[in-house]
Chain A
Amino acid sequence: MTTKQIVSTCVYCGAGCQILFTVDTEANRILEATGSEGHSNDGTLCLKGRYGWDFLNDPQILTKRLTSPLLRKNGRQSDLTPVSWDEAVNFVSQRLTDIKKTHGPDSILCTGSARGPGNEANYVMQKFVRACLGTNNVDHCARICHAASVAGLLVSLGSGAMSLSVPEIEEAEVIFNIGYNGPDSHPIVARRIVRARQKGAYIICADPRRTETARIAHKHLQLKGGSNLALANSLAHVIIAENLGDQAFIKDHTKGFDELKKLVQKYTPEYAARITGLNPDEIRATARIYAASKHSVILWGMGVCQFSQGVEVVKALANLGLLTGNFGRRATGVGPVRGQNNVQGACDMGALPNYYPGYQSVTDPAARAKFEAAWGVPLPDKVGLTLTRVPEFVLHPPDKSKQIRAYWIFGEDPAQSDAYLAEMRETLEKLELVIVQDIYMNKTAQYADVILPSTSWGEHDGVYSACDRAFQRIRKLIEPPAGVLTDWEIISRVSTAMGYPMKYRNTEEIWNELINLCPSFKGATYEKLEKLGHIQWPCRSADLSDVGTPFLHRDGNFATKDGKGVFSCAEWQPPVEVENAEYPLTLSTVREVGHYSVRTMTGNCRTLRNLEDEPGWVQMNPKLCNQLGVYHGQLVKISSKRGWCITRCLPTDRVKPDAVYMTYQWWIGACNELTIGSLDPISNTPEYKYCACRVEKIDNQAWAEKYVQNEYQTIRRNMAVTFDRKGGGKAA
């Protein structure tokens, strides 16, 4: 056996852990993964990092690896049949050209991918969309997660990313977690919170659930779901009313204080208490503790962003940092901790309808001129469509000429991950052309006209951006299966066939092209990444002395045009769909630590599957369980106005009696059958965290168990799994 050792970046979550892989080069197999000394992980790994790689061996537990382009030759009703790459590329380019000619470039929307492909592939995709198709209709799953953070922080601070690095969390004195449960979403970031606590930091957690973060916190504010803005505004109220702010910082580095003061006037702790259900004194105490340190950090996640008021809450949290001068030094600031491994990168690369790579606006004539010169074609000046509005623009377009007709879905699975799945399925059915580019068969691929199989993480090179703006290399560990191409090669071939030639020899060539177009990435060359391991942007000079920027806004100089932080605020509004007689409970979607995203990867990892498997769980308060007469492990039916699914009951006093929680990884217990498609007006992020639902007991458990087993087998059949395993449908 010949073995080699290679370090690469983990493909799960934005922590960006460095993993040392031992690979059997003859067998083309990974043998082992252990922690390497990365800047965020310090040699440690969580269960996904350590045991989440055997999907590369294609065990066909949930789905089958794609190894040949597939095409429905005789329309939607016909079967997907293997075709050559030439035929697939011809089909895609021909259909896209036709649709563009007939309906205009804005009738096509393509996604970037925040998962395996890497920054280079995202750059190539958005370049294809803008330069070859001639539209800004490119977006990716940041839209359904941290789009609110990007939009909100750009207004408040001029930069939408974490202002500090992961290791700095450990040096903070106060950590205010709101709508953020690191132990489930980023265990290796949570490790820093745990270590900060050991070093004496005060930990606050605002969450409706008794999460692991809440449990290790000194103060748990168990607020009512959907009341974040009332809490954040009230904290600002207390800081202003009790004169706890940093007056010099407010005067020198911010603007809009008077407007803020006026708006939060009415958010007394007593007023906020009525909305949040918290004790007014707890709100006061939190504000005082937060304001007392110059090393206070606010961390948030989906519990802030996946609400109709996500952007406003993000701004309200930035307000707290601006009021207290908690910016511009080590171990202070704000941390919207990005979920997927490369969701920061897909944003960095401009897989967004309003930005070119490096957050250069498509409406800025100077930026546009620069990209036009580089890419050699005129570029559209209108902001593109966000992907969460695809259902609307397919099913009920505001006018016929604006209808979306073609959707190129690259490394995403909207038929599993997007809110209100019934509507998404209707959308996919109605689209004239659905192109799926992925490593596995998935739920969306069932609706595809053509499937383009690509290399997986572990089979290609590239760069990911971690949640704290750290560029890190991913490296090829094993050879890909015959028949697949790298993502950037696939897109380049289609682009070339459509008359806009793109030819790259490797990812470094793509990387060099893009960093030269982005002043804040310019210094982060492959050569330097090799030497330094990680580089946090901005990194403007290729000189070795520019090692990047661990924290942003040094000395209170913000990234806004005039360098000032902007106070910006809004009134709290209740969630869109509240509890009622028919649907008396609220449903919020949360994370399962051992599974990732839509589960095509971790669902095909043996031990992760053993730990948690279909149909997943619904977390219910024991009181609610008693009331319904259901107990641990029983199958229950859960429904909303939009759909239903069957899952297992998990009684836990960590949730309140009026709220239930499900994780979105499950294909049978698919909570997105229930979730609502209402969007934040600015970020267009759906309100995954709040809708009305009902849980029902199933009397015939034997039937329900059979149903789950049959569903699992059906899913596996639909996912083209070829051999019959004994298991499947058996919950862990």
Chain B
Amino acid sequence: MNGYVQGDPLLCIGCRTCMIACVVAHEGKRIFEIDADGYDFHPKLKVIKTWSVSVPVQCKHCENPACQSVCRSEAISRVNGAVIVDREKCIGCKSCAQACPFGAIQMVPLGFETNPDGSRKSVANKCDLCQGLDDGPACQKVCPTAALYFVEQDDIRTILANKRTATVISCLAQ
């Protein structure tokens, strides 16, 4: 099973440290040295705030990803337990962004590549679970309230087991 990062709205304080960590993880620490407009700032997760919830939304790394099945350029694949976009192959058709049931894919200009008319080339941008980074997703590491956690097979089993127990208890209570 693919794991994914999930936020707990009762712990999240909406500070968005995770969003910066995401960019720093993908762009590298060089961004603090170079021209202040010389890098991309496109976090792959976004903190959403409603009346009752603040929490980042990011890819759930689906087992049968809708984004992958609609992609016409084979730019989306499953690698090492993550659904990732190959920016080179992406043709910017936006189908994946529309297909994702969670709104976890954004179209953003990346890498300062331009189209023939001079406009920035947009590609699909989504969480890749920090592929290639040593100790797991950067967002999770920096969260000051430990609101982000990595959900794995065992966690799903526990969640389901707890729900079943709750079901039994609520039935008995009636």
Contacts and interface: CB of A to CB of B under 8 A. Distances in A.
Main secondary structure on A side of the interface with B:
helix
A351 to B, nearest CB: 30
Given A31-B29, A191-B145, A609 B16 contact: no
A215 interface: yes
A183 B15 contact: yes
A91 to B, nearest CB: 35
Contact of B15 (A57, A187, A198, A726): A187
Interface stretch (B17-25, B56-64, B158-166): B17-25
Interface bracket on B: 20 to 34
Interface stretch (B33-41, B69-77, B123-131): B33-41
Contacts of B145: 44, 187, 190-191, 194-195
B14 A725 contact: no
Contacts of A47: 15-17, 20
A609 B35 CA distance: 13
A543 B16 CA distance: 43
A75 interface: no
Contact of B10 (A46, A54, A216, A653): A216
A197 interface: yes
Contact of A215 (B31, B37, B39, B52): B52
B144 A191 contact: yes
Contact of B24 (A44, A51, A725): A51
A72 B41 CA distance: 40
A652 B36 contact: no
B52 A57 contact: no
Contact of B37 (A30, A653, A725): A725
Contact of B20 (A183, A210, A607): A607
Contact of A654 (B16, B20, B51, B142): B51
Contacts of B35: 725
A657 interface: no
B11 interface: yes
A593 interface: yes
Contacts of B24: 51, 607
Nearest to A44: B144
A611 B16 contact: yes
A607 B14 CA distance: 16
A381 B41 CA distance: 56
Nearest to B27: A607
A705 interface: no
A61 interface: yes
B91 interface: no
B142 A45 contact: yes
A258 B51 CA distance: 42
A594 interface: yes
Contact of A212 (B14, B21, B29, B41): B14
A327 to B, nearest CB: 28
B16 A210 contact: no
Contact of A725 (B10, B21, B36, B41): B36
B49 interface: yes
A50 to B, nearest CB: 6
Contact of A57 (B16, B20, B32): B32
B70 to A, nearest CB: 28
Contacts of A46: 15, 17, 144
B11 A194 contact: yes
A611 B37 contact: no
B111 to A, nearest CB: 15
Given A607-B24, A654-B49, A727 B36 contact: yes
B54 interface: yes
A430 interface: no
Interface in B135-157: 142, 144-145
B118 to A, nearest CB: 14
A173 B10 CA distance: 17
A29 interface: yes
B13 interface: yes
B15 A607 contact: no
Interface of A: 29-32, 44-47, 50-51, 54, 57, 59-61, 182-183, 187-188, 190-191, 194-195, 197-198, 210, 212, 215-216, 593-594, 606-611, 652-654, 725-727, 732
29 contacts: A31-B29, A44-B144, A44-B145, A45-B144, A46-B17, A47-B16, A50-B21, A50-B142, A51-B24, A54-B32, A57-B32, A57-B33, A59-B36, A187-B15, A187-B17, A190-B13, A191-B145, A194-B11, A210-B51, A212-B14, A216-B13, A594-B15, A609-B36, A610-B20, A610-B41, A652-B49, A654-B49, A654-B51, A725-B36
9 nearest A-B pairs in the assembled complex, by CB-CB distance: A183-B13, A610-B41, A47-B17, A54-B32, A44-B144, A727-B37, A59-B36, A607-B20, A187-B15
